[in-house]
Amino acid sequence: MSRKRKKDKIGTKTSSFGSSGRFGHDSSEFYRSKLYEGLPSECEESSIKENKFPLNLINHIFCKSSETMEEIPDNSVHLVITSPPYNVGKEYEEGMTLQEYRAFLSSVFKEAYRVLVP
């Protein structure tokens, strides 16, 4: 068995530089780092109430602003991926002042944070 193949078999862990690949990845070192200090760990999950994501909303596309996502319960989503408008004059943008843009981003991120399971 080649060295690389053997490495794949035993799984990877957080590397000290760059990212070479992930197979059966052990990221426990990363989650023990300062970045996560004070945040609940998986071991403490029982203190976090995860709500069920409504079945009727799975694969549903909402044609509305993400500033309010009242259809989605608190702590019910495990991953949010976002690419907010840049506010640089694209056709779907409204041309906000810096203050308006920051307030807009803040309300979207607040909603994303609310729906995410910690």
Ligand X SMILES: C[S@@+](CC[C@H](N)C(=O)[O-])C[C@H]1O[C@@H](n2cnc3c(N)ncnc32)[C@H](O)[C@@H]1O
Beta strands in the chain (DSSP E): none
Q: Which stretch binds ligand X (CB under 6 A): 8-16, 41-49, 51-59, 79-87?
A: 79-87
Q: Which of 67, 71, 74, 100 binds ligand X (CB under 6 A)?
A: 67
| CB of 48 closer than 8 Å to CB of 40 | yes
- By CB under 6 A, residue 47 contacts ligand X: no
Contact 106, 96 (CB under 8 A): no
Sole window of 9-17, 18-26, 42-50, 64-72 interacting with ligand X (rule: CB under 6 A): 64-72
Rg (CA), the chain: 20
One of 12, 14, 66, 87 touching ligand X (CB under 6 A): 66
Which candidate, 32, 35, 40, places its Cα nearest to that of 13?
A: 32
Tokens at residue 38, please? Answer: 């004070």
**Interaction of residue 83 with ligand X, rule CB under 6 A:** yes
Tell me which residues touch ligand X (CB under 6 A): 65-67, 83, 85-86, 92
